[in-house]
Amino acid sequence: MVLNQKNILFCVCVGIFASLFKGTGYFFNMFSFYSPSGRNCSTMEKTGLSPLDPSSFSRPELAVVTEIFLNLSVNFDKKILIGNVDLSVKKIDENVNEIVLDSSKLNIASIYDAETNDKLEYNLSEAIAEYGSKLSVQLPKKDSNSYKIGIKYETSPDATGLQWLSPNATAGKKHPYLFSQFQPTHARSVLPCQDTPAVKTKYTATISAPQEYTVLMSAICNGSKELHGGKLSHFVQTVPMPSYLIAIAVGVLQSRKIGPRSHVWAEKEIIEDCAFEFAETEHQLKTAEEICGPYVWGIYDLLVLPPSFPYGGMENPCLTFVTPTLLAGDRSLANVVAHEIAHSWTGNLITNRNFEHFWLNEGFTVFVERKIKGRLESPQSQDFDAYTHVTELNETVNRIGKDSPLTQLVVNLKGVHPDDAFSIIPYEKGQTFLRYLENVVGGPENFEPFLRKYFDTFKYKSIETKDFQDFFNNYFNSNPDITLIDWKTWLYSPGMPPVIPDYDKSLAVICDNLIEKFLKWDGEGEIPLTIDDKKNLTTNQIIYFLQIISEAEAQPIKKLEMLNNVFGFNDIKNSEIKFRWLRVCIKARWEEKVHVALTWINIVGRMKFVRPLYRDLYQWEEIKQRTVDNFLANRHSMMHVSAYTLEKDLHVDA
Ligand code: BES
Ligand code: ZN
């Protein structure tokens, strides 16, 4: 470890932090890979993780990757990508002669100077679970500070950032399928890189795949051609972006044009449904541009993945990935697309420097997503979204623990993997904070110009919370009300936000009345809800209705049967409704619903649904073993992040 001022300061801070938390139990969990005997600079050295990004080994402050050139072939039989990557490197600190990269489970064949082909020495350190290995490469000896190094390698079949699907996990059932999910730290399992969002690079890629497959990436495709019975596709991403936004999908796909700069991609079995569901994409994009400024990424395509995709959506530039569980048939779940569109500014243009500041990505994105909704639908539905999520935030805070540091807006990820820290806290507490700030400075007419200036000032950069705070204080320095803002509590106190803004509740009140009627009903005689009540509710109101019922005390099965007679929940297609209905049924210990829930989560991999359902079933004593057995039988076909997080939720050994 090169000792500079920052490092020394960091080690002192770790020391102070360590003594504060000694003996709390939490501390040992936080620092699980630090030996209890010495949490100091030398242990930091042992883990090799960066003092600037606790989730990466790379040291871009010493030597930084400036461009990536990928050249890979897709091998479905072996479930590997094989080829090479060239990295342009710039030395920052004159005194270093190596570049430090992240890698995980990669089989490296050779590393060389890509300009001379001379071999380069390298060292691959022992892997640390979930973080991978530090890869240090000696830089070529030459006068200039710019280098190009080449790495010949292949991925492992269990690369954590890839999912290799067998044909039966696809809609067509005939061809295998490959997709990636790199956020937060899985790019390193597919290419050696500086896998920290502090580093932004352009990239190009040449991908070879069997002829009948379409290759898509988070970049502009500038052509594919036939070669030796296979197909070569070329991609270029000219906007610098973090490694977690590199993405690839390979499958037998079709596309439909859904706007002047958008196509939707999917397997042919669902392509028409997709074209219908996402027909409002261009409206959403235009509205986002009105709020945020020009869209710089050229195209905005959508890829609808097979159901095992672990997230609702992923903002891969030029090509948002989404789950097929958004296909409700009525465009009611398209807010996820608005969310991913908003990331084109918040996250993809302005990026969190490390995942401790993840709220700068997600809190801002939810805030902008709801502004899009406010403009496209109504201010009432914008507020309804915000208000209903307060309940979900509350549920999450209670589950994680209202004193847990993981409920802070800015978290400490030293020793905590970002996949373990993931929750809706940075999303909802983050958007609540922004809405609060907006109110303090006098509403959208003052805040939105600020937001534009913020985007313009920090675009193409990676920043941390203090950058935002300083910029805000500077911009509004003549506004006396900003002295009211308790930044420390908002950013660093655990638990619920200190202030919940006064949201418009007109859409919620209607539901609250029905909820009250239903909960008070003793189950005798007629159910106090009618088909007209159902007709008068929007999908989002029904979702809220069930959300509240699912958090209330367990209901008698008889009441739920009657509720189903009115609302038809047993046959519902909408995944958000189905999810909450199943939670209500499981809470009621409605035995025949166990099979329904397990069957669903064996197909659908979206963690937002799968994790709570698994946790609910696990808490049901009589069903616990069946739940665990179901997980064990299926975990091998899940993406790493789903299996990994569920192992912890269900207390199963890895
Ligand atoms: N970037 C996230 C997904 C993500 C976060 C993947 C962290 C891996 C690590 C994406 O933009 C997202 O937030 N998706 C949400 C959408 C929702 C909030 C509208 C989802 O997946 O549900
Ligand atoms: Zn997001």
User: What distance in angstroms lies between residue 365's CA and the mean position of ligand 2's atoms?
Assistant: 6
Identify whether residues 530 and 641 lie together within a single domain: yes
Identify whether residues 165 and 202 lie together within a single domain: yes
Residue 18 φ then ψ, to 5°:
-60, -45
pLDDT digit string (tens) for 195-224? Answer: 999 999 999 999 999 999 999 999 999 999
Residue 174 three-state SS: coil
User: What distance in angstroms lies between residue 624's CA and the mean position of ligand 1's atoms?
Assistant: 29
Q: Give Cα 549 distance to the centre of its chain.
A: 28
User: What distance in angstroms lies between residue 646's CA and the mean position of ligand 1's atoms?
Assistant: 18
Last residue of a domain, one of 245, 280, 308: 245
Mean pLDDT value across residues 23-45? 34
Q: Whose CA is nearest to atom 10 of ligand 1?
A: 314
Residue 191 belongs to a domain: yes
pLDDT digit string (tens) for 260-277? Answer: 999 999 999 999 999 999
The single-letter DSSP state of residue 193 is B
User: What distance in angstroms lies between residue 640's CA and the mean position of ligand 1's atoms?
Assistant: 16
Give the least confident one: 29-33, 292-296, 650-654: 29-33
Ligand index nearest the alpha carbon of residue 362: 2
User: What distance in angstroms lies between residue 211's CA and the mean position of ligand 1's atoms?
Assistant: 32
193 exposure class (CB count in 10 Å sphere: 0-12, 13-18, 19+):
buried
Q: Whose CA is nearest to atom 19 of ligand 1?
A: 336
Residue 153 belongs to a domain: yes
Identify whether residues 241 and 257 lie together within a single domain: no
Residue 411 belongs to a domain: yes
Mean pLDDT value across residues 319-335? 97
| Sequence-separated (6 or more) residues with CB below 8 Å from residue 581 | 546, 569, 570, 572
Residue 274 belongs to a domain: yes
Last residue of a domain, one of 313, 344, 375: 344
Residue 494 belongs to a domain: yes
User: What distance in angstroms lies between residue 249's CA and the mean position of ligand 2's atoms?
Assistant: 19
In this predicted structure, what is the pLDDT of residue 654? 86
Residue 73 bridge partners (DSSP): 82, 208
Find the radius of gyration of the CA atoms of the chain.
25
331 exposure class (CB count in 10 Å sphere: 0-12, 13-18, 19+):
middle
Q: Which atom of ligand 1 is nearest to the CA of 358?
A: 7
Q: Which atom of ligand 1 is nearest to the CA of 347?
A: 1
pLDDT digit string (tens) for 501-520? Answer: 999 999 999 999 999 999 99
**What is the maximum span of the chain, computed from C-alpha positions, in angstroms?**
88
- pLDDT surpassing 70 at residue 13: no
Q: Which atom of ligand 1 is nearest to the CA of 340?
A: 11
Identify whether residues 258 and 197 lie together within a single domain: no
Identify whether residues 191 and 277 lie together within a single domain: no
Mean pLDDT value across residues 36-63? 75
In this predicted structure, what is the pLDDT of residue 45? 52
The whole domain housing 136 covers 62-245
CATH number at residue 294: 3.30.2010.30
Positive or negative, the CA dihedral 490, 496, 497, 498 is: negative
- pLDDT surpassing 50 at residue 6: no
Mean pLDDT value across residues 382-394? 97
In this predicted structure, what is the pLDDT of residue 194? 98
- pLDDT surpassing 70 at residue 34: no
In this predicted structure, what is the pLDDT of residue 47? 84
Residue 455's closest CA among 296, 281, 339, 317? Answer: 296
Q: Which residues belong to the active site? A: 340, 427
In this predicted structure, what is the pLDDT of residue 7? 39
Ligand index nearest the alpha carbon of residue 309: 1
In this predicted structure, what is the pLDDT of residue 9? 38
Give the least confident one: 4-18, 455-469, 524-538, 625-639: 4-18
Rounded CA gap, 537 and 6, in Å?
A: 56
Q: Give Cα 476 distance to the centre of its chain.
A: 31
Identify whether residues 400 and 464 lie together within a single domain: yes
- pLDDT surpassing 50 at residue 42: no
Q: Which atom of ligand 1 is nearest to the CA of 424?
A: 18
Ligand index nearest the alpha carbon of residue 607: 1
DSSP E strand boundaries for 35-173: 63-75, 80-91, 98-103, 107-113, 122-124, 133-138, 146-154, 162-165
pLDDT digit string (tens) for 525-579? Answer: 999 999 999 999 999 999 999 999 999 999 999 999 999 999 999 999 999 999 9
Identify whether residues 634 and 622 lie together within a single domain: yes
Q: Give Cα 208 distance to the centre of its chain.
A: 28
Residue 286 φ then ψ, to 5°:
-60, -40
Rounded CA gap, 571 and 550, in Å?
A: 18
- What average pLDDT does the chain have? 93
Q: Show contacts of 267-276: CB within 8 Å, 24+ apart.
A: 267/170, 267/171, 267/172, 267/306, 268/172, 269/171, 269/172, 270/171, 270/304, 270/324, 270/327, 273/327, 273/329, 274/302, 274/304, 274/327, 276/329, 276/331
Determine contact, residues 258/240, Cβ cutoff 8 Å: no
608 band by pLDDT with thresholds 50, 70 and 90: very high
Determine contact, residues 309/181, Cβ cutoff 8 Å: yes
- pLDDT surpassing 70 at residue 31: no
CATH number at residue 82: 2.60.40.1730
Residue 405 belongs to a domain: yes
Ligand index nearest the alpha carbon of residue 321: 1
Residue to probe by mutation, ligand 1, list 337, 348, 354, 362, most atoms within 8 Å of CB: 362
What Cα–Cα distance (Å) separates residue 308 from each residue in 163, 180, 322, 632, 648?
A: 9, 12, 11, 16, 19
Positive or negative, the CA dihedral 439, 444, 449, 453 is: positive
pLDDT digit string (tens) for 421-476? Answer: 999 999 999 999 999 999 999 999 999 999 999 999 999 999 999 999 999 999 99
Q: Whose CA is nearest to atom 8 of ligand 1?
A: 183
Determine contact, residues 317/239, Cβ cutoff 8 Å: yes
106 band by pLDDT with thresholds 50, 70 and 90: very high
Pocket of ligand 1 (CB under 6 A): 183-184, 311-315, 336, 339-340, 343, 362, 422, 427, 608
Identify whether residues 478 and 371 lie together within a single domain: yes
Give the H/E segment covering residue 104.
Answer: none
Q: Which amino acid is at 13?
A: C
Q: Whose CA is nearest to atom 20 of ligand 1?
A: 312
CATH number at residue 622: 1.25.40.320
Mean pLDDT value across residues 167-180? 98
- pLDDT surpassing 80 at residue 401: yes
Burial 500-516 (b: 16+ CB within 10 A, else e): ebebbeebbebbeebbe
Residue 265 φ then ψ, to 5°:
-115, 140
Q: Which atom of ligand 1 is nearest to the CA of 336?
A: 19
Last residue of a domain, one of 479, 504, 529: 504
In this predicted structure, what is the pLDDT of residue 227? 87
Residue 214 three-state SS: strand
Residue to probe by mutation, ligand 1, list 160, 218, 314, 642, most atoms within 8 Å of CB: 314
- pLDDT surpassing 70 at residue 142: yes
- pLDDT surpassing 80 at residue 315: yes
DSSP string of 291-316, one letter each residue: HH----SS--EEEE--TT-SSSEE--
Q: Which amino acid is at 257?
A: K
626 exposure class (CB count in 10 Å sphere: 0-12, 13-18, 19+):
middle
Residue 7 belongs to a domain: no
Q: pLDDT > 70: what percent of the chain?
A: 93
Identify whether residues 403 and 537 lie together within a single domain: no
Mean pLDDT value across residues 489-499? 98
Identify whether residues 91 and 213 lie together within a single domain: yes
Residue 263 three-state SS: strand
Identify whether residues 388 and 339 lie together within a single domain: no
Tokens 């639908």, residue located: 377
CATH number at residue 432: 1.10.390.10
3-state SS of the chain: helix, strand, coil percent to 5? 45, 20, 35
User: C-alpha angle 148/70/420, rounded to 5°?
Assistant: 105
Give the H/E segment covering residue 235.
Answer: strand 230-241
Give the H/E segment covering residue 258.
Answer: strand 254-259
Identify whether residues 332 and 362 lie together within a single domain: no
DSSP string of 361-427, one letter each residue: HHHHHHHHHHHHHHHHT-HHHHHHHHHHHHHHHHHHHHHH-TT-GGGSSS---TTS-HHHH-SSHHH
- pLDDT surpassing 90 at residue 17: no
pTM score, two decimals?
Answer: 0.93
Please give the tally of structural domains in the chain. Answer: 4
Rounded CA gap, 402 and 220, in Å?
A: 44
In this predicted structure, what is the pLDDT of residue 635? 96
Rounded CA gap, 16 and 407, in Å?
A: 21
